[in-house]
Amino acid sequence: MLIRRSPSIQAYLTSNKDTYGAGWVRFGAILGSICANDQFLCGWRVHRSEAEGPSNEGIDPVESPLEAMKFYLSQGLGRDGIYSAAASRWIDGNFMARHASFNWGAGKTDRFSLRVEKPDLQPEITIDRFLKLIDLVLDWQPGAHIWCGDRKYVNDGLNLFAPDRVPAPWISWTDRKVPQEAIPSAFDVRPSRGGTLIVTTQDYWNVTGGEAYIERAHQVEAEMNEAGVLPRIIDMQ
């Protein structure tokens, strides 16, 4: 089975009650931190139309988060009271080659996500790059659970407990303390940011050998579930 390699980070965060404008300011702040850490993850825009992408027009949510919010609203993408923000990056004709979103204040957790499409056009996908993203997110807002990995793995229902529990395709972070021996199939289990980092495999999912990666992910998911650190999706919403 082939994995189509669309890496994503999905963070379930401690809920806050920011206003709509304050949430957009916070959204701009996390994108700014990501950009400051990694020059290849810069260039975020709220586009008024797809035609703006090639010329890199649109509103920069890092420099002008409230202006970006206004354009977001003007395109019917949200409204005051619907606590969501989103931005994208055009790369080689792909309007949403990179997409980030933030949803806050309306559920049990706030959610931040960043996904990458067309990874062959993107910077190298390495464990160090995604571990740093996790650190940046947790520095920005306290977390409950984070997972990173192939978005298609989830969308295609390949995770072991789909659709009831969150997946563990590549890297997970939980706010619980987990002993290494509880997840023996993982490449790495170690304390991190007051919780535990669980790494399924050292390398990102490969387009070859996909079945071996899926089998390893299933083993890790089963062990995390047994240890009580693979939360139900309904408890994160």
Is residue 174 scored above 60 in pLDDT? yes
Region 165-189: mean pLDDT is: 97
Spatial contact of 213 and 7, defined as CB atoms under 8 Å apart: no
Residue type, 29: A
Q: How many CB atoms lie within 10 A of CB 169?
A: 29
* 42's tokens: 């810069």
pTM recorded for the entire structure:
0.92
Q: How confident is the model at residue 52 (pLDDT cuts 50, 70, 90)?
A: low
Summarize pLDDT for 77-120 with one digit per residue, the tens.
Answer: 666 556 899 998 877 777 677 899 999 988 899 999 999 877 66
Is residue 143 scored above 80 in pLDDT? yes
Exposed, middle or buried, 58 (CB in 10 Å: 0-12/13-18/19+)?
buried
Region 55-81: mean pLDDT is: 81
Give me the pLDDT at residue 91, please: 77
Percent over 90 (pLDDT), the chain? 58
